[in-house]
């Protein structure tokens, strides 16, 4: 028969212990950490903080923060900050071009160092203008008696018209301003003539010079004069301050290519009359 103490223990939720005493029964303290953590001088909360703040996690958080802010790795930032070699080279060439063009513009105005030579330079300017060449080619075509002469003058006239179209198109696309020291007192200018690149006088001089040397029978002194005239026309554009050096150099190359195009599209009067008859 169980004792009253055992019954009371059963009612209170305890369990009877057989063969033991009250002193041997110790309640468990769940709020205290295990003995091995107490001996190490740490608690579970600090252990979890150490794991969460490990170096790998700190590096991951820093990289995610940098990528989220849009900074990226330092290698990519240095590549973005370093300009390209092509851009630096073009900027250097442009600076040299502007400096050299300003130094060579010695006839830009009457007060310049070579201002007394300015009327001669303007005469060379008129000699390379498009209107005198168009009028002269049309007049020679009208007055020519031979079929060969008419054919040559016809293609020269077509080449001059082609030069006006191509130069005007390139100037309208590039839209490079003329040098700051230039005086806009040119002969018979048009709307696109306020732009500088390329030099229309240089393209016209190079194309007409090659054309005349190839299709006209000229004595050696006249051939030398033609080459000299082409060079002086291009030089006068820089001395007058009308163009930069690169405008004239590109104009010479463009005129050379235009002459090749005229040779490829060569027309005879009979071919032109036949095409005009078809269009009519």
Query: How does DSSP assign 111-144, residue by residue?
Result: TSTTGGGHHHHHHHHHHT-HHHHHHHHHHHHHH-
- Quote the pTM value: 0.66
Q: Are 157 and 134 in contact (CB under 8 A)?
A: yes
Q: Cβ distance 107 to 239 under 8 Å? A: yes
Q: How far apart are the first and last CA of the chain?
A: 138
Look at residue 104 and give its three-state secondary structure. helix
* Residues known to be catalytic: 201, 243
- pLDDT above 90 coverage of the chain, percent: 37
- Over residues 190-236, the pLDDT tens digits come to 777 888 999 999 999 999 999 999 998 889 999 999 999 999 999 99
Taking only the tens place, the pLDDT of each residue in 139-166 is 998 888 888 888 999 999 999 999 999 9
Q: Cα(87)–Cα(55) distance, rounded to whole angstroms?
A: 42
Residue where the block lists tokens 């463009």: 254
> 110 with 118: CB under 8 angstroms?
yes
Three-class DSSP category at 172? helix
Q: Which one, of 201, 197, 211, 215, lies nearest residue 159 by Cα?
A: 211
């Amino acid at each position: 028969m169980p004792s009253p103490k055992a019954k009371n223990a059963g009612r209170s939720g305890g369990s009877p212990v057989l063969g033991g005493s009250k002193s041997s029964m110790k309640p468990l303290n769940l709020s205290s950490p295990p003995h091995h953590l107490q001996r190490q001088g740490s608690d579970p909360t600090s252990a979890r903080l150490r794991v969460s703040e490990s170096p790998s996690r700190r590096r991951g958080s820093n990289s995610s923060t940098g990528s989220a802010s849009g900074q990226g790795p330092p290698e990519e930032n240095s590549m973005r900050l370093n300009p390209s070699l092509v851009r630096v080279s073009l900027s250097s060439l442009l600076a040299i071009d502007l400096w050299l063009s300003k130094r060579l513009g010695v006839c830009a105005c009457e007060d310049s160092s070579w201002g007394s030579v300015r009327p001669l330079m303007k005469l060379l300017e008129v000699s390379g203008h498009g209107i005198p060449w168009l009028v002269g080619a049309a007049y020679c075509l009208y007055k020519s008696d031979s079929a060969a002469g008419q054919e040559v003058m016809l293609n020269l006239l077509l080449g001059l018209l082609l030069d006006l179209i191509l130069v005007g198109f390139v100037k309208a696309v590039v839209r490079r301003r003329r040098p700051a020291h230039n005086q806009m007192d040119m002969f018979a200018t048009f709307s696109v003539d306020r732009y500088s690149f390329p030099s229309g006088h240089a393209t016209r001089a190079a194309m007409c010079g090659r054309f005349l040397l190839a299709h006209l029978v000229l004595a050696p002194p006249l051939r030398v004069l033609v080459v000299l005239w082409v060079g002086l026309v291009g030089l006068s554009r820089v001395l007058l301050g009308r163009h930069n050096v690169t405008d004239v150099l590109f104009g010479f190359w463009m005129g050379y290519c235009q002459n090749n195009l005229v040779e490829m599209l060569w027309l005879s009067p009979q071919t032109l009359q036949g095409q005009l008859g078809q269009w009519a």
